[in-house]
Amino acid sequence: MEYIINLINSNPTIIYGLLTSLGFIIIDTLLGYMLALKNGNFDISKIPQFLSTGVLPYVGGLIIIAGFSLIITEIVPVFITCVGLVSLKFGKEIILDKAKQLFS
C-alpha cells in the first residue's frame, strides 16, 4: 500500500490531470441527461448502452494510461496528450453544445 501512495505522490500531475478529465466526462454526462429530460426524450433503458459506448471507453483508457504513467515515467507525455484531448473534447461538448441548449 505504501508503494502505491509513493507512486501517486511522485507525480501529482497525473492524478490532477485524470481528475480533471473525469470531471469533464461526468459533467458532460449529467448535462446530457438533463438535456434529454428537458427535451422529453430521456429513456432510462438506453443509459447502459450510452455508458458502455460513450463514457466508459474514455474513463477506462485514461485510468489505464494513468496507471502506466505512474509506473513508467516515459509515458507521461502520452498521458498528458490524452488528457488534454479528452478534456478538450468533453469541454467543447459541455460549453458549446449542451450548456447552450440547456440554458437557452
Confidence at residue 4, expressed as pLDDT on a 0 to 100 scale: 67
87 CB neighbour count, 10 Å cutoff: 18
55, three cell numbers: 463514457
- Domain span including residue 21: 2-102
Q: What is the pTM of this model?
A: 0.85
CA separation for the pair 76, 38 (Å, rounded) = 40
The Cα 67–Cα 70 span in angstroms is 5
Residues near 62 by Cβ (< 8 Å), separated by ≥ 6? 18, 21, 22, 79, 82, 83, 86
Number of domains present in the structure of the chain: 1
Return per-residue pLDDT of the chain as tens, 104 residues. 676 677 677 788 898 999 999 999 999 999 889 989 988 898 899 999 989 998 999 999 999 999 899 889 899 999 999 999 999 998 888 878 888 887 87
